[in-house]
Every structure is written in structure tokens, then in C-alpha cells.
């Protein structure tokens, strides 16, 4: 059952970004341009143009549509590394989203210093060293999560 929750959470976590892009396509192009030229997070860029970010918009949509609380929290918290609500669902979404944003889209959505503080508190690294350390940590976390999922699927209770 958790696999289904994860799939839905993974599909809907950025629903706020889709809604904003659909309703305000020209304004959103300015947001993306601002984010890329200023090298700020997409959240910071969205707040500058809309006074809200896609996380807040997504959670409001989930509330309006009467979606389950875990989806509302996932939409609101999927960039918040310290979120512990529905951790077994939201944490994998945060990790997958971080990887995709950083390594595929080359977007700054995660502060590596914050990641280091959250996940590797004994390390005092900066720059590429911090990035590499965090990537290795997240990759190992992702691998162990996938392994756990495969074990659940192959031997259901
Ligand atoms: Fe997002």
C-alpha cells in the first residue's frame, strides 16, 4: 500500500508548480529566467514574483480538492529537509526531487549547506566537497530505500 501512496505523492508533489505554470505561463517564464540568471532557488524566485511559492500553492490546492493530508503535506514540504510528517512517504519524494532538480535540471532547489547540517552533522564541508558528500549520502539513502521497497513487494505481509 505504501508504494501506491509514494507513487501518488511523487506524481502530485509539484502540483502547485504545474498550476502556476498553467495559469500564468508568461509570468512563470520570468520566474525561471530570474532563477537562472540570479542563481537562486525556484522557491525564492516564485516568492519574488507571486509572493507565494509552488509548495504553498500546491498545499492550498490539495486542501481545496479535499485530497488526503499526506498529499497536502508532501506538496507543502517537498523542499523542506527537516519535515518529519509522513516521513516514510515525503522523505523519498524530497530525496528524488533533490536529485532530479540538481542533477538533471541543474536547478538550485536545495541548499547543500543545509543538507550537510541535516544529514551529515559532523562534517564541515563547503562547495563541491559538500555537494559530493551530500550526493553520496542521498544516493546511499535512496539505494537502501529502494532495497526496502523491493523486499516489501517481493514478500508482502
Ligand atoms: Fe517543487
User: For residue 10, what is the domain's CATH number?
Assistant: 1.10.3210.10
Please give the span between the terminal C-alpha atoms of the chain, in angstroms, as a whole number: 11
Asked if residue 137 is part of any domain, the answer here is no
Asked if residue 34 is part of any domain, the answer here is yes
Distance CA 129, CA 132 (A): 5
Measured in Å, residue 101 CA sits from the centre of ligand 1 at 9
Measured in Å, residue 136 CA sits from the centre of ligand 1 at 22
Closest by alpha carbon to 79, among 62, 91, 63, 87? 91
- Residue 40 has a pLDDT of 83
Measured in Å, residue 98 CA sits from the centre of ligand 1 at 9
Evaluate whether 61 touches 74 at the Cβ level (below 8 Å): no
Measured in Å, residue 157 CA sits from the centre of ligand 1 at 33
Q: What is the pLDDT of residues 134-153, one digit of tens each?
A: 777 777 777 776 777 677 66
Asked if residue 130 is part of any domain, the answer here is no
- Residue 41 has a pLDDT of 83
Domains identified in the chain, total number: 1
C-alpha grid cell for residue 17?
508548480
Asked if residue 98 is part of any domain, the answer here is yes
C-alpha grid cell for residue 135?
550526493
Distance CA 62, CA 75 (A): 8
Measured in Å, residue 94 CA sits from the centre of ligand 1 at 9
- Residue 104 has a pLDDT of 62
Distance CA 74, CA 16 (A): 11
- Residue 139 has a pLDDT of 73
Per-residue tens of pLDDT for the chain, all 157 residues: 777 898 899 999 999 999 999 999 999 999 999 988 998 888 899 999 999 999 999 999 999 999 999 999 999 999 887 778 887 888 888 877 876 776 666 665 555 666 666 666 666 777 777 777 777 777 777 777 677 767 766 765 5
- Residue 117 has a pLDDT of 64
Asked if residue 140 is part of any domain, the answer here is no
- Residue 84 has a pLDDT of 80
Measured in Å, residue 31 CA sits from the centre of ligand 1 at 14
- Residue 116 has a pLDDT of 63
Asked if residue 88 is part of any domain, the answer here is yes
Asked if residue 134 is part of any domain, the answer here is no
Measured in Å, residue 2 CA sits from the centre of ligand 1 at 21
Measured in Å, residue 147 CA sits from the centre of ligand 1 at 25
Asked if residue 53 is part of any domain, the answer here is yes
Measured in Å, residue 75 CA sits from the centre of ligand 1 at 8
- Residue 70 has a pLDDT of 94
Structural domain for 40, as ranges? 2-110
**Residues, CB within 5 angstroms of ligand 1 (ion):** 14
Amino acid at each position: 500500500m505504501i508504494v501506491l501512496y509514494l507513487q501518488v505523492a511523487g506524481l502530485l508533489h509539484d502540483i502547485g508548480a504545474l498550476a502556476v505554470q498553467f495559469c500564468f505561463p508568461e509570468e512563470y517564464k520570468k520566474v525561471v529566467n530570474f532563477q537562472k540568471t540570479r542563481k537562486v532557488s525556484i522557491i525564492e524566485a516564485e516568492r519574488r514574483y507571486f509572493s507565494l511559492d509552488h509548495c504553498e500553492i500546491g498545499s492550498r490546492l490539495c486542501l481545496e480538492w479535499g485530497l488526503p493530508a499526506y498529499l497536502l503535506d508532501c506538496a507543502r514540504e517537498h523542499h523542506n529537509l527537516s519535515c518529519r510528517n509522513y516521513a516514510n512517504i515525503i522523505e523519498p519524494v524530497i530525496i528524488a526531487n533533490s536529485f532530479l532538480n540538481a542533477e538533471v535540471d541543474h536547478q538550485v532547489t536545495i541548499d547543500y549547506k543545509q543538507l550537510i547540517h541535516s544529514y551529515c552533522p559532523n562534517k564541515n564541508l563547503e562547495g563541491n566537497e559538500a555537494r559530493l558528500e551530500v550526493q553520496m549520502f542521498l544516493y546511499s539513502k535512496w539505494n537502501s530505500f529502494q532495497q526496502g521497497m523491493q523486499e516489501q513487494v517481493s514478500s508482502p505481509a
